[in-house]
Chain A
Amino acid sequence: MAACVALVAGWFATGHASAPDHGLLQLDVLSLDEPVPGLQAVDGRPTMVVFTCPQEQPPVRALDPAYGLTISTDPALARAVALPRASACEDGYVLLDAHSHVRYRSYDPGWPSHAQEQEILLAALDGGHRMGGM
């Protein structure tokens, strides 16, 4: 228990919130289903759209080529998908299904090394998965 108290103290001491991004950080729930003008799935495939700042170097592609991947530095588009801090280099991404509907959105500054997480969600979109029981 003492170790956990220390871990929690460390969490807050390093400036983290009790609920990062209002508890929505990398929650992995496909709760959205809406189109956003300006966002298009690549070749009709489930697509990941990363939002970052213009100062960032384009990252090495780390996603299965079966899925689309695009990078956007457009602040207006970032705001449209509720990722306004992406313009300040706090990267985030949205996942589009084959119909170009936004199905998932999350901040994730470490996204280039989290391909497995993204591919699981994209695969669920590819299989016509729909969330039930909201």
Chain B
Amino acid sequence: MRRGAVLAAYAGLAVLQAGIVLAYLGRGTWWHYLLHQQVGWGLGLAAAATWMALRAGSYVPPVGAASAGQLVSIVPDLMFRYLRMPHEPSMDLWLGHISIHRGPSPVLVALGVLLLGGTAWLAAARGRSRPALSAAAAAVVLLTVACLLAEELPKRLADYAEAS
């Protein structure tokens, strides 16, 4: 019975993920999906790893942690879609949702955050607290530095011309 419920939950998450993928594809914003999904998964796993490393014997399922992180990272997109709110720079509060686009190599940074978060979770699951905490911290630092290095959003059309 419990096994069936777990399988149903995973199936539900898979369907939800497919829906999210299709939504981004339908809007021509696959690139945005690549960024926010990886950052969300990575920081979700990093947070779970930190929890597991600091509380011996605790366990956070990786799929749940990654999904929670992804949900946090796409809050501005949900606000855009369902509350009809354009994006604003203050939405960086949602895991660097705006600045990551204008930082150095966004796709690679997002992948790096995911790999570090995943590494942190794997280390924590094996009871290796120090490497887990180090990798989790590195994921946060990587995203933070990338966002701090991000170029400002253009305020004039001339700013776009200079960027092109």
Enumerate chain A interface residues (CB-CB to B < 8 A).
Answer: 1, 4-5, 7-8, 11-12, 16, 18-32, 34, 36, 79-82, 84, 102, 105, 108-110, 113-114, 116-117, 120-121, 123-124, 129, 131-134
Interchain CB contact under 8 A, B87 and A27: yes
**Chain B interface residue count: which class?**
35 or more
Q: A19-B105, A23-B102, A27-B98 are in contact. Are A120 and B86 (CB under 8 A)?
A: yes
Interchain CB contact under 8 A, A132 and B88: yes
Residue among B84, B102, B152, B161 making CB contact with A82, cutoff 8 Å: B161
B138 CB within 8 Å of chain A: no
Enumerate chain B interface residues (CB-CB to A < 8 A).
Answer: 26-29, 31-32, 34, 37-38, 41, 80-81, 84-90, 98, 101-103, 105-108, 111, 114-115, 118, 150-158, 160-161, 163-164
The answer for the CA separation of A4 and B34 in the assembled complex, in Å, is 8
Interchain CB contact under 8 A, A29 and B31: no
Q: A29-B98, A131-B88, A134-B89 are in contact. Are A81 and B154 (CB under 8 A)?
A: no
Residue among A23, A30, A79, A133 making CB contact with B86, cutoff 8 Å: A30
Interchain CB contact under 8 A, A18 and B105: yes
B87 contact set on A, CB distance < 8 A: 27-29
With A8-B38, A23-B101, A82-B164 already in contact, 14 other A-B pairs whose C-beta atoms are closer than 8 Å: A18-B108, A24-B101, A25-B31, A26-B27, A29-B86, A31-B153, A108-B28, A110-B28, A120-B80, A120-B81, A120-B84, A120-B86, A131-B89, A134-B153
